[in-house]
Amino acid sequence: GQNIDQPTEMTATEGAIVQINCTYQTSGFNGLFWYQQHAGEAPTFLSYNVLDGLEEKGRFSSFLSRSKGYSYLLLKELQMKDSASYLCAVLPSGGYNKLIFGAGTRLAVHP
């Protein structure tokens, strides 16, 4: 079956660093995406990993280990506006293009 796990909620302090983990078990693997979603808005693309290692993009970085079925999203210099849900999604193999989503991690950043 397909399974993606991530913590339900996390809290962090403004200016700090937070790491949101995601583990997955899917039928094949063609890449992992992280999306940010503010309440009532569209999920917005943050990062894409298909090879092992760290991808850095400004304050956000994403890491992938395919052998461990593991990814994390690292947010640095947290700002209040980073309070949102963070969705981990996997693109399985097999010629299909449907994303398999985790339930999302709700991050609350406080002063």
Contacts of residue 44, defined as CB under 8 A and 6 or more positions apart, other chains included, come to 35, 36, 37
* Complex with other proteins: residue 34 or 78, whichever CB lies closer: 34
* Complex with other proteins: residue 89 or 107, whichever CB lies closer: 89
- Contact residues toward other proteins (CB under 8 A) are 4, 30-31, 33, 35, 40-45, 48, 87, 89, 91, 96-104
* Complex with other proteins: residue 98 or 110, whichever CB lies closer: 98
What's the full length of the chain, in residues?
Answer: 111
Q: What distance lies between CA 46 and its chain's CA centroid?
A: 8
The least distance separating other proteins from the CB of residue 16, rounded to whole angstroms, comes to 27
The least distance separating other proteins from the CB of residue 80, rounded to whole angstroms, comes to 22
Place of tokens 């985790």: 102
Cα distance between residue 50 and residue 32, in whole Å: 6
The least distance separating other proteins from the CB of residue 63, rounded to whole angstroms, comes to 18
* Complex with other proteins: residue 31 or 74, whichever CB lies closer: 31
The least distance separating other proteins from the CB of residue 45, rounded to whole angstroms, comes to 4
Computed from CA positions of residues 54, 92, 24, 107, in that sequence, does the dihedral angle turn out positive or negative?
positive
Angle 97-106-87 from CA coordinates, rounded to 5°: 10
